[in-house]
Amino acid sequence: MNNILSSFHLNASATLISHSDSVDRYAIDLTPPTKIRDVKALAQDLTMYLNAKSISFNVSDGKLIADVFKKPIVQYHRLYDYTKALYPTVHTGSISLGKVSDDMHVFYNPQMDKNVLIGGMTGSGKSSLLKSMIEQFIWGSHTVYIMDTKRIDFAYITPENTKHVSIFSDFESILVQLRCLNNALDEMFARNFIPAKNTYIVIDEFADLMLSDLGRHIKNELMRIIQRSRAMRMYVILSTQRPSAKIIDGAIKANFHTKIALKVDSKLNSRIILDNPGAELLDGNGDALICSAACNMVRFRSFFV
Ligand SMILES: Nc1ncnc2c1ncn2[C@@H]1O[C@H](COP(=O)(O)OP(=O)(O)OP(=O)(O)O)[C@@H](O)[C@H]1O
Ligand SMILES: [Mg+2]
């Protein structure tokens, strides 16, 4: 506030006297010949430079009081929890997906946010986002199955350093593994057994799988998993470079509660992922929009792993 007042050459100094989520109150001392109306005339400029919603002035006890009304805070609902911001919550299973600002994280809470669909053009940061998620799943000793036919991004993960992680990179073994997971689910349901840790199936380049000869079978197995797995703490995280309606059809979308778009090349692709335009305007390099079942769209920057 003081910087703005002085840059307009006003002999005035502001002191913050109260502060809340919705309004900051300043007392402004004026030195002649500065007039109250000089300060009031700046209302619009102050609103803009302070990134506020509005500003109002009144005189009380011989002082000029300015109330700066802040823009409403986005409701982060389940994804964002202020108390968790400082403590990445490995123990509850929540992980940070990235940052909204220096001290605000966007969280993924598997119980609430469930299966995750990630879309974005090549080089937008999908694999980096997946890596940052996998890192945190590993910290929490959860089981991770990575399915990636590209074989590059996750090559640094080896059985020696990560005992809960397995990687599958050819179509045949991916199909076999999905069948095994379905069998494991059958058994869990039969025994009414809910595991203590989560299982994550992370699929990078989903379109490559769908367009392969085994695409139809892989999709059937995956749909069976997706439809039954949540009760058994099993979650699917799927990323695709080609967010076309053919790859991400209605059945897939209906079963993914959380959608993340990195930069895409058209409004249409943004709509396919998020049901909203906007992702075509992102910067790339991990700049992302997230939409969960209970959440407004929130923009964040993912971590670069
Ligand atoms: N969070 C980030 N912050 C800064 N730079 C990033 C971030 N994420 C990705 N990048 C940059 O973008 C490059 C591409 O990222 P990444 O490999 O994750 O993209 P991708 O979407 O998986 O691409 P492709 O579809 O080709 O696999 C990275 O090498 C890095 O330079
Ligand atoms: Mg990639």
**Is the domain of 58 the same as that of 129?**
no
Query: Does 119 share its domain with 180?
Result: yes
* Residues 200 and 227 placed together within one structural domain of the fold: yes
**52 lies in the same domain as 30:** yes
Q: Give the global pTM.
A: 0.74
- Provide the domain count of the chain: 2
- pLDDT computed for residue 242 by the predictor: 85
CA 206 to ligand 2 center in whole angstroms: 11
pLDDT digits (tens, 9 = 90+) for 231-272: 899 999 999 998 888 888 888 888 999 999 999 999 999 999
127 in the same domain as 8: no
Give the pLDDT score at 78: 34
CB environment 129-149: b (16+ within 10 A), e (fewer): bbbbbbebbbebebbbbbbbb
- Nearest CA among 263, 240, 264, 262 for reference residue 253: 240
Query: Do both 176 and 287 map to the same domain?
Result: yes
At residue 300, the 3 state secondary structure works out as strand
Mean pLDDT of the chain: 86
Cross-strand pairs, 259? 117, 291
Same domain, 218 and 120: yes
Place of tokens 């809340």: 20
Q: Residue 51 sits in a domain of what CATH number?
A: 3.30.980.40
Residue whose Cα lies nearest atom 18 of ligand 1: it is 125
C-alpha–C-alpha distance, residues 277 and 136, integer Å: 30
Q: Which amino acid residue places its CA nearest to atom 11 of ligand 1? A: 285
pLDDT over threshold 60, residue 87: no
Q: Are residues 50 and 146 in the same domain?
A: no
Q: Are strands 23-30 and 298-302 parallel, antiparallel or unpaired?
A: unpaired
263 CA distance to ligand 1 middle (Å): 11
Q: Which atom of ligand 1 is nearest to the CA of 122?
A: 25
What residues line ligand 1, using a CB cutoff of 6 Å? 120, 122-128, 241, 285-286, 301-304
Residue whose CA lies nearest to ligand 1 atom number 16: 125
Q: How many CB atoms lie within 10 A of CB 128?
A: 18
> Pick from 47, 70, 93: which residue ends a domain?
70
Instruction: Quote the strand ranges of 7-138, DSSP E.
Output: 12-19, 23-30, 52-60, 63-70, 95-101, 104-108, 116-119
Residue numbers of the domain that contains 173: 77-304
pLDDT band, very low/low/confident/very high, at 293 (cuts 50, 70, 90): low
Name the more confident of 57 and 305: 57
pLDDT(208) > 70: yes
CA–centroid distance, 109 to ligand 1, in Å, is 23
| Beta strand residue intervals within 198-286, DSSP E | 199-204, 234-240, 258-261
